[in-house]
Amino acid sequence: MRNILEMARFELAAALRTKRALAIAVVYLVTSLFGMSSAITALGKMEDQLSDILQVERVEGKSGVVSAALWKSKPFQSLARGVVGDSLVYDDIVGKHPAELIYAWIVFMAVPFLSVLVACRRVADDVKSGAAKYALMRVSRLEWSLGKYVGQATLVLAGLLVGAFGAWAVAMFKLAGADVASMLPAMLAWSLKAWFLSLAWLGVALGISHSFSTGTKAQTVSMFALVAFSIAPYVVKLYADTAIGEKLQVLQRLFPSAIEDALWRSSLAPVAAGSVWLALLGLMWLSLGYLTFARRDVR
């Protein structure tokens, strides 16, 4: 365990020295800032249009007020329930401020891509350049791999926390008057949930990175896996009523995006179960790659 943490520290220090850590924080921050800002602006416009159509007075500078009111309308609730598709998820998100939900949507959208992008070359590049050898004479291959995973996960967590503060700042600025201050803990909680999602995707990316001899190949395959794994749950839904549907339902539990719904819940049990499953998925995908790496020559 000590060696894994030492290796994680080494990985983190490497990220700080290459300014990769800074780049990751900036990417998360910009994604949050830009995403939140755009979404709040779009929400405001939609609400203004809605006010115009309904011929009621616009609520200037308070995006989300109309949406919050809409949440309380029974017909809208049934419409939203249909759009969400999962009534348990709907029950948990109903009544939450739109800005909070927008942030959740942004991080859940961005985290898979950013996690894969950050991690997919980490092993393959080090093996290709030979830099891995300097560490592999000091720690075991397993410790090296787990250390890299823990290091990358810590980096993503830092990025997500920075992103949460950035999004909250934007909400404070653009939603003056709304009770935004109380949204910070909720946004941090969404970031934490997104981090569990990232654990699974980091496992996928690092698992792939363990299996290829160059960073470019690992990156290409990782991006393909990102797309394939993201659309897999939708494909499974298409076959839900067929004979193979049930088998596919089981199979899709191996894809991180299929577990994402659990993170939208509010109650602890499904969130905890989903988070643990995602962390295990990450380790599973990492292990698959590691099994290849453990048998392979590092030349």
Report the interface residues with another protein, using CB under 8 A: 3, 6-7, 9-10, 13-14, 17-19, 126, 129-131, 133-140, 143, 295-299
- Taking alpha carbons only, the member of 38, 28, 37 closest to residue 163 is 28
Nearest approach, Cβ of 206 to another protein (angstroms)?
Answer: 18
Residue with smaller CB distance to another protein, 19 or 45: 19
Give the Cα separation of 297 and 299 in Å (integer).
6
Residue with smaller CB distance to another protein, 74 or 295: 295
Angle at 10 (CA atoms; ends 162, 12), nearest 5 degrees = 10
Nearest approach, Cβ of 2 to another protein (angstroms)?
Answer: 8
Residue with smaller CB distance to another protein, 13 or 227: 13
Residue with smaller CB distance to another protein, 14 or 189: 14
Residue with smaller CB distance to another protein, 74 or 299: 299
Nearest approach, Cβ of 5 to another protein (angstroms)?
Answer: 11
Nearest approach, Cβ of 195 to another protein (angstroms)?
Answer: 26
Which amino acid makes up residue 29? L
Nearest approach, Cβ of 259 to another protein (angstroms)?
Answer: 34
